[in-house]
A = this chain, B = another copy of it.
Amino acid sequence: MRVCKDGFQREFIEDKSDMYTIAFTQNILSGRWKYFILWYLKGHTRRYSDIKAFLGDLSQGSLSKQLRELEKDGVIERKVYPVVPPKVEYSLTEKGTKLMPILDAMETFGKAYGEQPDDTSLV
């Protein structure tokens, strides 16, 4: 029971705060490619061109945008080497590695219920 802005007392059946922490996490992960990028970076340092090649069917603009957002949220790190042609490496930060249990849980669910995609589509 709690006093609200309107002066009345109300019983709060749910505490929404847990939900807000989920929303916070969701914001970081929202984006068509972010799970894939994070998954690909798991345990590796990768160059921009490798990520691009791995994901394949996305434009440079999209990739750059997703990477910038992940960097802004502090889950990946960007290391620029001052060479020509440019070389930039991406890796997970410690915060980023803390997202891995989420990916693992998604993988577990997907393995239990998902269909295997056509193998040739991977080649």
Instruction: Flag whether A101 is at the interface (Cβ < 8 A).
Output: yes
Contact residues in B for A63 (Cβ distance below 8 Å): none
User: Which residue of the partner chain, among B39, B116, B120, contacts A5 with CB atoms under 8 Å?
Assistant: B120
What CA separation (Å) do A2 and B120 show in the bound complex?
11
Main secondary structure of the interface of A (DSSP, over half): helix
When each residue 85-123 of chain A gets 1 if its CB lies under 8 Å from chain B and 0 otherwise, what string results?
Answer: 000000000010011011111111111111111001011
Report which A residues bind B (CB closer than 8 A). Answer: 2, 4-5, 14, 16-26, 35-36, 39-40, 54, 95, 98-99, 101-117, 120, 122-123
21 contacts between A and B (CB under 8 A): A14-B40, A14-B54, A17-B122, A19-B35, A19-B40, A20-B114, A20-B117, A21-B109, A21-B111, A22-B36, A22-B107, A23-B35, A24-B113, A24-B115, A25-B106, A25-B107, A26-B35, A26-B106, A98-B109, A98-B113, A101-B108
